[in-house]
Structures are given as structure tokens and as C-alpha cells.
Amino acid sequence: MEINKSALAKAVKPAGDHNPIMVQRYGADPYAMVYKGRVYMYMTGDTPAFDESGKVKTNTYGDINTISVASSADLVNWTDHGEVLAAGVNGLATWGGNSWAPAAAWKNIDGKDKFFLYFANSGNGIAVLTADSPTGPFTDPIGGPLISRNTPNCAEVTWLFDPAVLIDDDGTGWLYVGGGIPSEDMASNPGTARVVKLGDDMISLATDPMPMGDVPYLFEDSGINKINGKYYYSYCSNFNVTKEGEEKYGFGNGEIVTLVSDKPDGPFTLSSPVLKNPEHFFGRGGNNHHCIFEFNGKYYIAYHSRILEEYMDLDGGYRSTNVDEIKFDEKGAPTHSTGTRKGIAQVGCFDPYAVSPAATFANMAGLSTAPVIKDKTGRGEMYLESGDGTGWFAVYGADFGSDGASAFTFTAKGSGKLDVFVMADDLQSEVLGSCSADLTDDLKEFKADLSSKLTGVKDFYVVISGGKAQIAEWKFVK
């Protein structure tokens, strides 16, 4: 068998670039949760909409009711866990119309790890979903909002949205919400940020939400981290920062800013701006949304940009998630970060001998992902599906060791004959192994023997052509 390389699907993300983290769909407002050696990223389900002529519509956010989930052990190769249908009449929170800006946390309760997914019902309150795993299935445990405009001290909040969650060292949960400008003359201090102590169950409030005091030029996008014993609240500044305000505070419009406190509920004082608006780095602006997280001893910032939209020749305000490193000063405070297309260095090597869900890759083209079980709860299991052409996926930084891999195996079902080719380094390299798979309605394992062993640390590419396949998992064997 030979690959028709002229028929290879073209990537929308340049080879070697790590941003955005997903190319199979959009994902905005990222929030990272670290659990058992993996980073789980929860994202607002941006989906482009088109008019009758095929022209992309401007993103109004009004139809968003899903939350995308992906995870990674190295921050370069990501496993797609699909979407949670979080809101809407057919969703989990049927009482809410939208699911914006998720935040996630886990806590051991009565000897069992429980997972909590908070999100905004547009600008009018906060919902919470729970699960026994980071990827679901999720349920709505209280059947209504955790925070609404009926909650004390919340009716006057312009935008009652954008939650951030912190579980302190003593197990206490804290939630941070709010945003918006009540009137133009309040732009320098809108007074719309709130902090509240959560109940031990993480799905109730232990106190009334309280105003957070002076949060200069607050717009939206709550963030919270405990770093070196201090609490850093972060947010996006609004677009009314005056020249005098910029000189006073050191930040401009649409930047991510940090405040610091010795206590989780403040008072907070200005610390430092840490990320300029994406327009500064990529030429396309809009709102700025982030989270800061620690993984394997280093801190990173996840944020959204519009570079995937740009690569796809669209211009409607649709956002995707990037990850870059964040720098600290000599006192241990976060100071700045730079938005890049290249992204961060891979955190450790990928294990090619472990069974990987098929929807695991750093880059891909001409393929799609689809849930194994279609329901609203999110279950985390996804198929990698072939299309009509010749698609492929890439995994970066796989450590094949000194003994090396002798074959590539995968399980798939579907119809027709599927041709699979394995290459190292890039799509122009020689084919190391291939096989033809006669697909049926049942999942079967197929094997492509390699002509020479793959050794050392390498990127690898798997090309998939023909057939209508749903691939469940893959691995290399020695």
C-alpha cells in the first residue's frame, strides 16, 4: 500500500505549534483542574454559526449550552473527552439557558473523590454539576442555581457570572463571581466582584456572598490561586481604562490583572498585570479570559485567542484555548506572560506503549471525534472518526526507548476497508508500517507491523484513509 500524499488533509495548525490545544472544535474561557498527574481543561463550547449564504455569523454567545473537556499529562498531547450538555431544555440544568465560563475542582468527601463543575447561566447566576470522575457523567445535584439574583448581595451585580473556585489547605471551598460595569462613571471601580465561602459539600453556600472591595477597572473573568501562602485573585480589566488609570495601575484595556491578599476573602491589593489582551500578541482581540495553574512544579496560564478562527479563515469572534508559561518575580508573585503560537515545551514524554484513547493527539486533520455514548451527561469516551479523504493525527515527544516498538495496534469498527499508515518525524517521511482493516459493526483489533523499530524520543504520525471508521483506542507494542 502507498499513501497518496497529495490527498493528505491539510492541517489548520502548523506542525510543531502547540497552540491552540484543540483543532477539532473551539473551546473558550478555559479553566484547568489538576488530578492524578493530568490537567483537565474545561471550556465554553464555542461553535461557529453560519447564515443561509454560508457566511459566518458573529458570536453572540446566546446559543452556548455545552462545556468541552480535554485532558493531558504533558500539556502538548491532549485527549478529547467530548462535551457536557450543561444547560438548556435538553441539558442537565434545564432551568438555565446557557453554560459559560466553567470552573472545576475536586474534593475528597467521606473517603471518595468528588468533582464539581461550576458555570454561569449567561450573566444571571451560577450552576453546579457533580460527578464521580473528572469527565462525568455529571448530574445537577440541586436542580437550580447555586447563586442567583435572589442570593443576598447579588441582585445588583451587573454580570453575575464567571466563577472561579478554590479549595484551601483546610478543605474549605471558596467561590468568586461577578463582573460588569453598573454605569460608565463607575468604570474605575465597578464594585461587582463577589466572594463566598462554600459549604463542606461544595454545592451549598456557607455564608452570603460579599463584595470584594476595590477591584480596579473590573470587567469579568474571575480567577483564584493560592501561591506561596498568598491568595491571588485575577480578572480581566474593562475597556474603559483611562490614560490616568493606566499610569496609576500599570495596565490597560482587556488585560489580565492580579490582586493579592493574606486571606481568601481579602482585603485584596493590586499585585501585577500578567497577560495583555490577545490582540497584542495575535492581532485579533476581544474579551480576555484565563486561568493560572500549577503542574509538575511550574505555573502556566491558559487563555483563549482567535488564532484557530484565523487559521480557518473565519472572523466571527470564535475562541480557542492556548497554554503558555507565566513568570514570577523574586518574591514569588506572578508578573507576566506572553501569548504564543508555539506554546510551551512538552512536560515529559508521551508513553506510546500505554493504551491511549483514539482521540489523543497534538495535531490532526481530516478526522473528527464523536462520543461513544451520546447523552447529555458527558462520559469522557470518544471515537476518532475517519472522513471521506485521507486524514491523520500526530503525537509529539513519544519515548519508544532503546528496545523500540515493532508494531502499532488499534481497535476500530465501521464499514469498508480502512488503510492505516505509520510514520515518524513528519508526514513526508517514509512509511514504517501499514495495514488494511476490513471493518465490521463490532470493534476489532488490527495490527500494523513496522519494517524497522521505532526507538528513542520521536514524534509520530498515523495516516487514515478509506472506510467509515470509528477508532476506539491505539498503542504501540514492542
pLDDT of res. 387: 83
Q: Are 224 and 105 a contacting pair, CB within 8 Å?
A: no
| Rounded Cα–Cα distance for residues 8 and 395 (Å) | 17
pLDDT of res. 4: 83
Number of H helices, E strands in the chain: 3, 31
Residue of 29, 46, 74, 221 marked active site: 29
Question: Backbone dihedral region of 378: left (phi > 0), alpha (psi from -120 to 50 degrees) or beta?
Answer: left
pLDDT of res. 77: 98
**Is 83 noted as a catalytic residue in this protein?**
no
Show the domains of the chain with their CATH numbers: 19-337 (2.115.10.20), 356-477 (2.60.120.260)
Residue ranges of the chain whose pLDDT lies below 70: none
Closest CA to 105 of 25, 201, 193, 20: 201
Strand partners, 108: 113
* Burial category of 283 from C-beta neighbours within 10 Å (exposed 0-12, middle 13-18, buried 19 and up): exposed
HEC assignment per residue over 57-126: CCCCCCCCCEEEEEEECCCCCEEEEEEEECECCCCCECCCCCCEEEEEEEEEECCEEEEEEEEECCCECE
Q: What is the largest CA-CA distance in the chain?
A: 71
pLDDT of res. 375: 86
Residue of 80, 83, 140, 220 marked active site: 220
E-assigned strand segments in 100-156: 100-109, 112-120, 126-131
**Is 156 noted as a catalytic residue in this protein?**
no
Q: How many CB atoms lie within 10 A of CB 92?
A: 26
pLDDT of res. 1: 75
